[in-house]
Amino acid sequence: MINEAFAEHWGGCIPWTPQRWRDRLETDLGGGPQLLVLRDTESAVVLLSRIVELGDGRAQPTGFIEVVATRPAHRRTGIAENLVRSALARFAAAGVQSSVLLVDRASDSRSAGVYQRCGFEPAFTYHVWERPAREHG
**Cβ atoms within 10 Å of 96's Cβ, excluding its own:** 22
Q: Where are the domains of the chain?
A: 2-117
Can you give the pLDDT at residue 29?
A: 65
Task: Summarize pLDDT for 16-44 with one digit per residue, the tens.
Answer: 778 877 777 777 667 777 888 888 888 88
Whether the ω angle into residue 132 lies within 30 degrees of 0, i.e. cis, is no
Contacts of 124 (CB under 8 A, 6+ apart): none
The set of long-range contacts for 112-115, using a CB threshold of 8 Å and a minimum separation of 24, is 114/68, 114/80, 114/81, 114/84, 115/84
**Cα 11 to Cα 78: distance, rounded to the nearest angstrom:** 26
Regions of the chain where pLDDT drops below 50: none
Q: Which of these, 15, 35, 32, 4, lies nearest to 109 by C-alpha position?
A: 4
Query: Is residue 70 within 8 Å of 5, Cβ to Cβ?
Result: yes
> In this predicted structure, what is the pLDDT of residue 4?
73
Q: Which CATH class is domain 2-117?
A: alpha beta
